[in-house]
């Protein structure tokens, strides 16, 4: 086989599965943090999260006779937790990573897991230990970061068909903050823009809330679902001063997803085949 043929086959394989995009982009963000923002001192935290996530996924693969390619989903969860979950305790990190992966196999309705794995892992770490947190300031809010996360995130959500979710959430969240901070409180537009260019918020918008497996199946339902998350996140942050309010809002609203799917029918997203992304309605495959 010639080099050009091999490269062509590799490229087609990469394009065939949206998870490949997510893994590459999230890996780039992590490298950006390590080499540009000096996160290198947190290598131990990354190792703990990766070992727990991939090890837990491997146990479930063996116990349920699953295919090894489901490790792709665990890799995405690993990267998401490395980018967002902070803690000084090994137990907290292990707990968050374990809950993230185990929830996919335990908390299911009609073969579909309810919560975004990284989301429930972060919430479990914060709620059960009091020693986990999300640091919104670790990214800064530079224009280059906004462009990087926004562009990469847009490519991913277009690939998995969840651009409606990102747009609905971000527009609603931005409108609520504009109404309060600019129109009501009289703050400058620069303050409003600063709030919206936070790296953690953009990662949430393009990589967490858009999880194609745990979002509602019907497009119209996804839009309402995303707006509900934006409203709850706004209220939690404004009225109750909750840190990482979007993460908590997603967790609470996700509990309603099975009911939303029951009321508004739609084609269920699934990953099938060797690196193939498709839409289907009857799968119960575990990822």
The answer, yes or no, to whether residue 277 has pLDDT greater than 80, is no
Residue of 160, 123, 81 lying closest to 255 (CA atoms): 123
Domain ranges of the chain: 17-136, 147-263
pLDDT tens column, 197-225 = 888 898 999 999 999 999 999 999 999 99
Q: How many other C-beta atoms are found inside a 10 Å radius of the C-beta of residue 90? A: 12
- Rounded Cα distance between 176 and 112, Å, is 32
Beta bridge partners of 109: 112
Rounded to a whole number of angstroms, the distance between the first and last alpha carbons of the chain is 33
The answer, yes or no, to whether residue 11 has pLDDT greater than 90, is no
pLDDT tens column, 120-149 = 999 999 999 989 999 877 876 666 677 778
- Rounded Cα distance between 189 and 163, Å, is 26
Residue of 19, 168, 37 lying closest to 80 (CA atoms): 19
The answer, yes or no, to whether residue 23 has pLDDT greater than 80, is yes
- Report pLDDT for 144: 67
Top pLDDT among 146 and 48 is at 48
């Amino acid at each position: 086989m010639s080099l050009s043929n091999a490269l062509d086959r590799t490229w087609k394989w990469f394009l065939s599965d949206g998870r490949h995009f997510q893994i590459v982009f999230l890996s780039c963000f992590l490298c950006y943090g390590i080499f540009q923002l000096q996160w290198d001192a947190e290598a131990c935290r990354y190792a703990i999260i990766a070992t727990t996530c991939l090890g837990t996924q491997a146990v479930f693969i063996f116990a349920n006779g699953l295919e090894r390619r489901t490790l792709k989903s665990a890799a995405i969860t690993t990267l998401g937790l490395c980018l967002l979950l902070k803690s000084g305790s090994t137990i907290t990190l292990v707990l968050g990573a374990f809950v993230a992966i185990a929830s996919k196999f335990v908390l299911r309705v009609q073969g579909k897991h309810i919560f975004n794995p990284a989301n429930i892992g972060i919430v479990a770490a914060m709620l059960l230990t009091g020693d986990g947190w999300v640091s919104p300031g670790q990214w800064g809010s530079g224009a280059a970061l906004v462009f990087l996360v926004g562009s990469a995130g847009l490519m991913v959500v277009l690939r998995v068909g969840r651009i409606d979710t990102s747009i609905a959430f971000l527009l609603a969240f931005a409108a609520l903050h504009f109404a309060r901070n600019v129109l009501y409180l009289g703050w400058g537009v620069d303050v409003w823009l600063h709030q919206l260019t936070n790296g953690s918020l953009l990662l949430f918008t393009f990589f967490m809330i858009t999880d194609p497996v745990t979002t509602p199946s019907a497009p119209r339902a996804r839009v309402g679902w995303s707006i509900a998350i934006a409203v709850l996140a706004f209220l939690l942050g404004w009225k109750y001063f909750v840190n990482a309010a979007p993460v908590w809002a997603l967790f609470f609203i996700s509990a309603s997803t099975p009911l939303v799917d029951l009321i508004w029918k739609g084609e269920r997203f699934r990953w099938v085949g060797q690196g193939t992304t498709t839409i289907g309605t009857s799968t119960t495959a575990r990822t």
